[in-house]
């Protein structure tokens, strides 16, 4: 298509979001995503349990994952959100596919990290498929991943540990660049100091069970968002949707489940 001033567009109209939600085990990531409007799950791990949500079943190859995405692109349906559960179980399928494409027995056989670099092309094909669902079928995208604690070598401070998605570093950076928000799910943690005698104190982490969604990066975890969200929200779809322009504009957001969303804004 020829580029001219007639082809100019204005930005700013809300579009379906692309989200990466990661968190500690059992926090409720799958339940959060399943509550999105018209959700269907591309399932690479057997972790849905009793959650009542449409799924293609457990997919055991990268080709099967792409076939599922292709069916959502080409076939008629009313689904509004595609959920991939989870990225860290998808990653070995990507490695396997990449190795087969290059006639290698496994991803390590490339040598010197070259296999993980080659795998980025497979990742890009996967992300382009999701972009097609968003851009041409109007579907939101929610990518789920588990969290891991790894050392971060900051150029400004001493190294420290933080939560991040459980993915190879190159793949994680690519996915984070692709999405509109990286959301970290964790329990609300407080610390208590106990005197055990002999001038010694023990610090224990305790939680009241509150589940939170963090939207802005802090030293303890990776996060970002392009929606101007509060720094912390309850881990519930209604609270999240009420704060996202795309859902607010479509009146897809149910009333927030907790006043904490309003407290977080203040």
Q: What's the confidence (pLDDT) of residue 203?
A: 41
Say if residue 108's pLDDT is above 60.
yes
pTM: predicted TM-score of the whole model, two decimal places: 0.87
Q: What's the confidence (pLDDT) of residue 188?
A: 85
User: What is the CATH class of 14-265?
Assistant: alpha beta
Any idea where the domains of the chain sit in the sequence? 14-265
How many separate helices (H) and strands (E) can be counted in the chain?
A: 8, 10
Q: SS3 for 169?
A: helix
Say if residue 260's pLDDT is above 50.
no
Instruction: Decide if 43 contacts 57 (C-beta within 8 A).
Output: yes
Which residues contact residue 184 at a Cβ distance below 8 angstroms, ignoring those fewer than 6 apart?
Answer: 22, 23, 147, 163, 213, 214, 221, 222, 223
Q: What's the confidence (pLDDT) of residue 193?
A: 52
Mean pLDDT of the chain: 88
Q: 21: which strand partners?
A: 144, 183
Tens-digit pLDDT profile for residues 131-176 = 999 999 999 999 999 999 999 888 888 888 999 999 999 999 999 9
Q: Can you say whether the dihedral through the CA atoms of 232, 235, 237, 239 is positive or negative?
A: negative
């Amino acid at each position: 298509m020829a580029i001219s001033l007639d082809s100019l567009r204005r930005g700013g109209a809300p579009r379906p979001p692309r989200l990466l939600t990661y968190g500690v085990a059992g926090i409720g990531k799958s339940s959060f995503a399943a509550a999105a409007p018209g959700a269907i799950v591309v399932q690479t791990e057997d972790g849905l349990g009793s959650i009542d949500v449409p799924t293609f079943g457990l997919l055991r190859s990268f080709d099967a994952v792409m076939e599922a995405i292709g069916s959502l692109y080409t076939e008629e349906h009313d689904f509004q959100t595609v959920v991939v559960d989870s990225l860290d179980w998808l990653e070995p399928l990507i490695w396997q596919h990449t190795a087969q494409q290059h006639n290698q027995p496994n991803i390590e056989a490339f040598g010197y990290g070259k296999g993980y670099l080659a795998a980025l092309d497979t990742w890009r094909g996967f992300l382009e498929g999701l972009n097609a669902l968003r851009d041409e079928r109007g579907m939101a995208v929610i990518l789920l991943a588990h969290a891991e604690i790894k050392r971060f070598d900051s150029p400004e401070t001493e190294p420290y540990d933080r939560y991040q998605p459980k993915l190879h570093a190159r793949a994680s950076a690519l996915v984070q660049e692709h999405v509109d928000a990286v959301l970290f799910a964790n329990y609300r943690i407080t610390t208590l100091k106990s005197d055990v005698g002999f001038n010694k104190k023990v610090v224990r982490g305790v939680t009241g069970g509150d589940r939170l969604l963090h939207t802005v990066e802090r030293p303890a975890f990776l996060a970002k968002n392009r929606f101007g969200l509060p720094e912390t929200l309850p881990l519930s779809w209604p609270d999240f949707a009420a704060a996202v322009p795309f859902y607010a504009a479509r009146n897809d957001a149910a009333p927030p489940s907790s006043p904490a969303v309003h407290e977080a804004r203040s």
